[in-house]
Amino acid sequence: QKEVEQNSGPLSVPEGAIASLNCTYSDRGSQSFFWYRQYSGKSPELIMSIYSNGDKEDGRFTAQLNKASQYVSLLIRDSQPSDSATYLCAPGGGKLIFGTGTRLQVFP
């Protein structure tokens, strides 16, 4: 059983700052990871996926994966109030077992 841990937050950052969201996982066999964003009352929306060690950048978002440390993170640069949501991490591989999610609050 895959286990995923995230700090539930809330993580509060000022507008324009970098938000750093972290996720650790227990299954050393996990090969891929997905970050979803979920606004209150809405469904999860895919933000990023990452399969290889290192960084992957997409616009203001950067995912970082360190398989040796069993750690994956999501950086959001130039944070906006519209980024305020819960961010869910999940290892891939058929069954998505989500972490508890980190609630991000970006204040003006």
Compute the distance between CA of residue 88 and CA of residue 38 in angstroms, rounded to an integer.
7
As a whole number of angstroms, the distance between CA 55 and CA 40 comes to 28
Number of residues that bind another protein (CB under 8 A): 22
Task: Report in angstroms how near the CB of residue 3 gets to another protein at its nearest.
Answer: 12
Q: 24-43: which residues touch another protein (CB under 8 A)?
A: 31-32, 34, 36, 42-43
Selected from 61, 67, 75, 92, the binder of another protein by CB under 8 A is 92
Task: Report the residue number, 31 or 80, with the smaller CB distance to another protein.
Answer: 31
How far apart CA 62 and CA 60 sit, in angstroms, is 7
